[in-house]
Chain A
Amino acid sequence: DAGITQSPRHKVTETGTPVTLRCHQTENHRYMYWYRQDPGHGLRLIHYSYGVKDTDKGEVSDGYSVSRSKTEDFLLTLESATSSQTSVYFCAIRSGLAYEQYFGPGTRLTVT
């Protein structure tokens, strides 16, 4: 158990509203990642962080922003949610010598 929690676990929101998802870790890991998972697709990287206030874009970053003001928290914000952002969002931390990642339980987001 890598001590990763995500909140909320489920959210329904309307198109055009802002949404923030939170990822919290308890073990002081430097690297944190946000992914989305859609049917028929693997995990696609949205943004990642390599330290406090150090973030970078992943392959599907359009429409998303992130912030990391503390080691333990990594926030993902949808500035103006669209129906195409309906997905399951997973946060992960990197640990170990083989670059394995440990994932949170996920947040199911529905944009109506």
Chain B
Amino acid sequence: DQQVKQNSPSLSVQEGRISILNCDYTNSMFDYFLWYKKYPAEGPTFLISISSIKDKNEDGRFTVFLNKSAKHLSLHIVPSQPGDSAVYFCAASEGDTNAGKSTFGDGTTLTVKP
């Protein structure tokens, strides 16, 4: 049973437009939600996170929204740039109750076209 799901394997957007990446989860014990970005042949890099007590967190062009009742989060990138083209992983953690482990989704490949 996959606890974190990214239902869209890929997304293509035009440069300058908004990219919206979605993630669903099933475990109500998740306390923190995170997004990572991964370029080919590199390790994932941490992008942005949100605590379960918040519904929005913003960092520059990146905003993460959390809807706890729907067990859904999304990452908005505005405006999208060609350098944003990468695989984006959604992750969730139960925090200290589970050694800070994270469960990852399968990823969404974002392509931003010039």
Name A residues whose Cβ lies closer than 8 Å to a Cβ of B: 4, 31, 33, 35, 40-45, 48, 50, 56, 58, 90, 92, 94, 96, 98-106
Contacts and interface: CB of A to CB of B under 8 A. Distances in A.
B25 interface: no
Contacts, number: 62
Interface stretch (B12-20, B43-51, B75-83): B43-51
Nearest to B89: A42
Given A42-B6, A99-B32, A106-B43, 19 more contacts: A31-B99, A42-B105, A42-B107, A43-B89, A45-B101, A45-B103, A50-B99, A56-B99, A90-B43, A98-B32, A98-B34, A99-B93, A99-B95, A100-B34, A101-B102, A102-B45, A103-B45, A105-B42, A106-B41
Contacts of B49: 98-100
Interface in B23-64: 32, 34, 41-46, 49-51
Contact of B44 (A43, A50, A99): A43
Q: How large is the interface on B (under 10, 10 to 19, 20 to 34, 35 or more residues)?
A: 20 to 34
B93 A41 contact: no
A23 to B, nearest CB: 11
Contact of B43 (A48, A50, A98, A105): A105
Contacts of A56: 99
